[in-house]
Amino acid sequence: MAESTNTSRPQLKIRRVSLDTGRENVVVISRHSSALQPEVFRGFSRVELRSNSHVLLATLLITDEDTLVGPDELGLSEPAFRRFAEPVGRLVTVSPAASPESLDAVRNKIQGRTLEPAEIDAIIRDVTHYRYSDMEIAAFLIGSASFMTSGELLALVEAMARAGTQLRWPSPIVVDKHCIGGIPGNRTSMLVVPIVAAHGLTIPKTSSRAITSPAGTADTMEVLARVDVNVEEMKEIVAACHGCLVWGGHVNLSPADDILISVERPLSLDTREQMVASIMSKKLAAGSTHLLIDLPVGPTAKLANAADAMRLRKLFEFVGDHFGISVEAITTDGRQPIGNGIGPVLEAADVMAVLSNDRAAPADLREKSLRLAAHLLEYDPQMRGGSGYARARELLDSGAALKKMQEIIDAQGPCHCRADIGKLTFDIITADDGEVADINCLQLNRLARTAGAPIDKGAGIKLFRKVGDRVEKGQPLYRIYAFDQSELDLAVGAAKTNPGYTVVNSRTSSSRTAP
């Protein structure tokens, strides 16, 4: 329906209002505004702003605070102002918002219809342009959670990849690795990237920040270097160093993914299809040609058994094949944390210990990283089949990987965040002699977050014992680090209720350690 531009509705002048409303567009109107039709505009209703050249959907707040907006003004919150991209004082009309057209397709999906690629593309474009409210996004996700055809999945990956930055690299081989997450400490990317880059392969690694875990690779790398690097800087760094370790969020890779995740997480929606779409859209946008996927399997990992891992692997391979990305997905041991530290500063220390060939460095982190790097190195056509592991070890042992890491850190520049370790500590000890039979990844992640990670980079957990280690009554299993006394108290209380360790006693059969 064409709307007359010469409307009789009163127009309002744009005012910029300092309100940080996250990803939501919010606008504020005066209760005394002539443009306010009280029965159609209610607090929190969706409205459409229209100037000569731009249209924006937003959520409306109504106010009596004259200092915020006058009767002839419309206050745009920071995100709305940025996205509407019109100057202060420009005249706009405000009308009740029609839903984005692509929402019809979402309704059809809820009713069980399969969507066409063009419909999925329209949905993702509207999501990326902030035209969907949270509840509309939830509708799309939940409607898709019950079933999604393989055609819909491919269309979703492509639409998501196309909706943001699409990186392209001069090198014909661009390698990448990705772990589906869930294992505390597992910071292999920070070892794999310098090893592979030291060899000379291109590995422009983008990582996420923690969403529900105590640290993402971007959070941990940020202890050592700046990670909010833009696309141009990233290209320069990769040209100089062959690799980088930057935060994907800043480069705007698959921005729809971040928006979808912000709704998936609070609702704990994680279907295989959504996980694959999220990861593969980012890899497609990142210009990766060869991708290694780490699928940890264990009782408290995201994948409980080999059958689940195989189903997921096939889905990754299917999508990779379609888009011409060579995908290799390998299952790894996900029965316990990798490395000793959990939380950005403690994990960064593990990484640097392995790179420095420190004798106290965690052997499991070193071994796993070498194994992953070996796979990636063999994507180099010059490498002899089966020689990847030896080459990876050579690059690590010789100090070449450490030197490469220092180059990358220098190229990304220093980070000005606080990187000292938590000054409040508490040791969780065993109540009994025995052997560590089991470590609960979920519980340790929870405890490290409760202690303050990743917000306090130096908060977290340092493990003293791993599965198979002997412990004697009174010996510490791990140390909790925090900055805030109440957070330490909460974490210690939770650890006393469930320490996350099972110690098997030689006398009795098994006992859960409670200190």
Binders of its own copies among residues 146 to 205 (CB under 8 A) are: 146
- What phi and psi values does residue 39 have, to the nearest 5 degrees? -85, -20
Q: Which of 351, 336, 353 is nearest to 445 (CA)?
A: 336
Q: Which of 135, 107, 451 is nearest to 266 (CA)?
A: 135
**Surface-to-core class of residue 72, CB atoms within 10 Å of its CB (0-12 exposed, 13-18 middle, 19+ buried):** middle
- What is the Cα–Cα distance from 158 to 152, expressed in whole angstroms? 10
- What is the Cα–Cα distance from 280 to 287, expressed in whole angstroms? 11
Structure tokens at 34: 């002539």
Nearer to its own copies, 382 or 486 (CB): 486
Could you please report the per-residue DSSP string of 181-226?
---TT--THHHHHHHHHHHT-BEEEEEPPPSSSS--HHHHHTTTS-
Q: Report, in Å, the least distance between residue 59 CB and its own copies.
A: 9
Alpha helix positions (H), 324-458: 344-355, 363-377, 388-397, 400-412, 441-450
Under the criterion CB under 8 A, does residue 496 sit at the interface with its own copies?
Answer: no
Q: Which stretch binds its own copies (CB under 8 A): 44-52, 162-170, 173-181, 398-406?
A: 44-52
Determine which residue in the list 330, 490, 504, 514 makes contact with its own copies, applying CB under 8 A: 490
The CA-CA-CA angle for residues 361, 364, 369, to 5°, reads 95
Under the criterion CB under 8 A, does residue 261 sit at the interface with its own copies?
Answer: no
Determine which residue in the list 52, 135, 360, 382 makes contact with its own copies, applying CB under 8 A: 135
Under the criterion CB under 8 A, does residue 63 sit at the interface with its own copies?
Answer: yes
Determine which residue in the list 14, 127, 139, 161 makes contact with its own copies, applying CB under 8 A: 139
Enumerate the β-bridge partners of residue 425.
Answer: 481
- Catalytic residue of the set 228, 270, 308, 484: 270
Binders of its own copies among residues 436 to 455 (CB under 8 A) are: 454-455
Under the criterion CB under 8 A, does residue 133 sit at the interface with its own copies?
Answer: yes
Q: Are strands 290-297 and 175-179 parallel, antiparallel or unpaired?
A: parallel
| Helical axes 150-162 vs 272-286, angle rounded to 10° | 40
Q: Which stretch binds its own copies (CB under 8 A): 34-42, 234-242, 342-350, 363-371?
A: 34-42
Determine which residue in the list 52, 53, 382, 486 makes contact with its own copies, applying CB under 8 A: 486
Q: Report, in Å, the least distance between residue 450 CB and its own copies.
A: 9
Determine which residue in the list 14, 26, 241, 503 makes contact with its own copies, applying CB under 8 A: 26
Q: Is 270 a catalytic residue?
A: yes
Q: Please list, in sequence order, all residues whose beta carbon lies within 8 angstroms of the beta carbon of residue 147, skipping any fewer than 6 positions away.
A: none
Q: How far is CA 383 from the centre of its chain?
A: 33
Nearer to its own copies, 113 or 473 (CB): 113
Determine which residue in the list 34, 42, 397, 496 makes contact with its own copies, applying CB under 8 A: 42
Q: Report, in Å, the least distance between residue 312 CB and its own copies.
A: 17
Nearer to its own copies, 25 or 331 (CB): 25
Under the criterion CB under 8 A, does residue 82 sit at the interface with its own copies?
Answer: no
Under the criterion CB under 8 A, does residue 52 sit at the interface with its own copies?
Answer: no
Nearer to its own copies, 92 or 106 (CB): 106
Which DSSP letter does residue 291 get?
E
Q: Which stretch binds its own copies (CB under 8 A): 59-67, 224-232, 359-367, 368-376?
A: 59-67
- What is the Cα–Cα distance from 304 to 311, expressed in whole angstroms? 12
| Dihedral angle sign, alpha carbons of residues 144, 145, 146, 150 | positive
Longest CA pairwise span in the chain (Å): 88
Determine which residue in the list 33, 57, 77, 500 makes contact with its own copies, applying CB under 8 A: 77
What end-to-end distance do the CA atoms of the chain give, in Å? 70
Q: Report, in Å, the least distance between residue 161 CB and its own copies.
A: 25
Nearer to its own copies, 21 or 502 (CB): 21
Q: Report, in Å, the least distance between residue 282 CB and its own copies.
A: 21
Binding mask 309-348 for its own copies (x = CB under 8 A): ----------------------------------------
- What is the Cα–Cα distance from 390 to 396, expressed in whole angstroms? 10
Determine which residue in the list 48, 72, 86, 134 makes contact with its own copies, applying CB under 8 A: 134
The CA-CA-CA angle for residues 174, 401, 337, to 5°, reads 85
The size of the interface with its own copies (CB under 8 A), counted in residues, is: 66
Binding mask 265-304 for its own copies (x = CB under 8 A): -xxxx-----------------------------------
Under the criterion CB under 8 A, does residue 484 sit at the interface with its own copies?
Answer: yes
Whether residue 454 has a cis bond before it, omega within 30° of 0: yes
Give the residue numbers annotated as catalytic, written as ranges.
Answer: 270
Binding site for its own copies (CB under 8 A): 1-4, 7-9, 17-24, 26, 28, 31, 37, 39-40, 42-46, 61-65, 67-68, 77-79, 99, 103, 106-107, 110, 133-139, 142-143, 145-146, 263, 266-269, 454-455, 484-486, 489-490, 493-494
